[in-house]
Amino acid sequence: MQRANLSKRLAELGQRNWIVVADGAYPSLSERGVETLATGADAIPVLRTLLELLAQLGHVKPIPYTTTELSRVAESDAPGTGAYRSTVEQLFRGLRTGTAPMDSLQTKIEEASKTYRVLVIKTRMTLPYGTLFLQLEPSAWTPEAEKRLREVMGRP
């Protein structure tokens, strides 16, 4: 995928949008709010570029989620999984992250796509459960600030 094309698409996204960095076997979703881009590239370079572009744009920041299953996939069953997990952990350092079962994350994507846009970036990765889910939030506003605002307003 061309960097300029990806940058343009990212500039259009905002809070409550999602980006999925998907393995090659990830399904093509039919929901109206989903756009799928097939890159033909490896997942780690795509993820590096994506995180770099989001930082440059500056209006949103990602909350990355990995699948719970990924942490339990044995290296003997899927060679390269350990190195992938390690690299992803390094790339997500400093970000608020989460983990959830693949089915739960997929449900979040399906629900979000009913109202918000979801960008699925398919890679040629073949590691099981290696798909990454990035929920976007405003970069200039923290969950703590939102909580304080809600308290002042008397709303949960």
Burial class (CB in 10 A: 0-12, 13-18, 19+), 59: middle
Considering the four listed CATH numbers 1.10.3720.10, 2.60.120.260, 3.20.20.70, 3.40.1650.10, the one that applies to the domain covering 3-153 is 3.40.1650.10
Q: Which band of pLDDT confidence, cut at 50, 70 and 90, is reported for residue 142?
A: confident
Domain range annotation of the chain: 3-153
The mean pLDDT value for 75-83 works out to 97
d(CA 57, CA 55): 6
The mean pLDDT value for 6-23 works out to 94
37: tokens are 């881009």
Instruction: Give the pLDDT of residue 121.
Output: 96
d(CA 139, CA 54): 10
Whole-prediction pTM value? Answer: 0.90
**Residue 152: pLDDT over 70:** yes
d(CA 54, CA 64): 12
**Residue 131: pLDDT over 70:** yes
Instruction: Give the pLDDT of residue 4.
Output: 84
